[in-house]
Amino acid sequence: MEIIYNNLKVSLPDAIIVGAAKAGTTSLFNYLSDHPQIFKPRIKEPWFFSFRGKKPQFIIPNSGRVNSKEIISNDQEYFDLFKNSDKYLIEGSTSYLYTAKDTIKNIKDLYGEDYSKLKIIIVLRNPIERAWSHYMMHVRDNKTDLSFTESIKEEAIRNMLSSGGIIGYDYIGFGMYYNQIKLFKDVFPELKILMYDDFLRSPLDYLNQLTDFLSIDRFSFHTSQKYNASGSPKNGVSKLISSIINRDSYFKSFIKGFLPKGFLFKLSLSLKPLLYRKVKISSKEKNSLIEIYREEVLKLEKLIGYDLKHWLN
């Protein structure tokens, strides 16, 4: 949508997917981006409204390397993501649900009176499965050397965040949906809450619900490609290849400029099924998470009017 900001006309998203993390939002964003009426910005997750005006520099705890995630905190850089397009504008940053208070404040500050026109999309996944998937993504990307049991301890999470670790290391906090969703529900009249399980069961029906919500034409989406799937390297060779793929290097940045746009991304997608295997959470770890989330889930189902008791089984 077009707004006037500091006496200038700028374009901002008409809709934002705010989370939850590891709930199929990357796949959802990419499927929606195939729609001819939708414009896809060059960065899917700029995390702008989480960190507007105060760009963080996250550190990977087990290596000391600076995380390569591209975060935009400057207004003009964010405007540039959407300039010169008259299509429907979307963005999807899973940090926004976790940082709900800051996100909402920054949206209202930037959109002004037009904030109420913004459509908010929230996808919810069982927080137990979500936490495990988030951890396994970091295992896949060689960004943790802790066990899951150690990773979800309050002290470990606190230490990772205080030492500059990316907010995604808060595996528990990212699934504490109740207060996050309540903040969004209290502010945005145009809000759609969807369930990850429904997405898996019937992606086309799910996407049709969204096109209706966005008031754009229905479309024959292709949903065979899966994005950002988590997993553990199958063997030592897979782990070595994975470390090369996920390691930041000047050489990788250099050759990117000579390859077709999106080539490395597509190559990475094709390699993932060969490199990684699914690992299930243990019964002991699952039961500990059920107790952590029990009260949260029961409050949430009352808030959104959706039976979520199966999350606690």
Query: Which two tokens mark 108?
Result: 């209202």
Q: Is 70 exceeded by the pLDDT of residue 190?
A: yes
Q: What class does CATH assign to 2-127+173-228+307-312?
A: alpha beta
Q: What is the mean pLDDT of residues 240-266?
A: 57
Q: What is the pLDDT of residue 28?
A: 94
12 burial class (0-12, 13-18, 19+ CB within 10 angstroms)?
A: buried
Q: What is the mean pLDDT of residues 6-34?
A: 94
CA angle 144, 149, 151 (to 5 degrees): 40
Q: What is the mean pLDDT of residues 233-256?
A: 60
Distance from C-alpha of 84 to C-alpha of 95, rounded to nearest angstrom: 26
Output DSSP code: residue 235.
S
Cβ burial 105-134 (10 Å sphere, 16+ → b, else e): ebbbebbeebbeebbbbbbbbbbbbbbbbb
Domain ranges across the chain: 2-127+173-228+307-312
Q: Is 70 exceeded by the pLDDT of residue 62?
A: no
How many C-beta atoms lie closer than 10 Å to residue 261's C-beta? 9
Contact 111, 12 (CB under 8 A): yes
Distance from C-alpha of 49 to C-alpha of 99, rounded to nearest angstrom: 9
CA angle 70, 109, 112 (to 5 degrees): 125
Question: Which of 231, 185, 186, 198 shows the shortest CA–CA distance to 125?
Answer: 198
Distance from C-alpha of 8 to C-alpha of 122, rounded to nearest angstrom: 30
Tell me the whole-structure pTM to 2 decimals: 0.86
Q: What is the pLDDT of residue 250?
A: 45
| Residue for token pair 């969004």 | 184
87 burial class (0-12, 13-18, 19+ CB within 10 angstroms)?
A: middle
Question: Which of 219, 222, 271 shows the shortest CA–CA distance to 242?
Answer: 271
Q: Is 60 exceeded by the pLDDT of residue 247?
A: no
How many C-beta atoms lie closer than 10 Å to residue 306's C-beta? 11
Contact 230, 133 (CB under 8 A): yes
Distance from C-alpha of 93 to C-alpha of 18, rounded to nearest angstrom: 5
Q: Specify which residues 120 forms β-bridges with.
A: 16, 191
Output DSSP code: residue 66.
B
Q: What is the mean pLDDT of residues 217-221?
A: 94
286: confidence class by pLDDT, cuts 50, 70, 90: very high
| Percentage above 90 pLDDT, the chain | 68
Where would I find the beta strands (DSSP E) of the chain? 2-5, 8-11, 15-19, 38-39, 88-92, 119-124, 191-195, 232-233, 276-277
| Residue for token pair 């992606």 | 203
Q: What is the pLDDT of residue 57?
A: 84
Following CA atoms 225, 231, 237, 240 in sequence, which dihedral angle do they give, to the nearest 10 degrees? Answer: 100
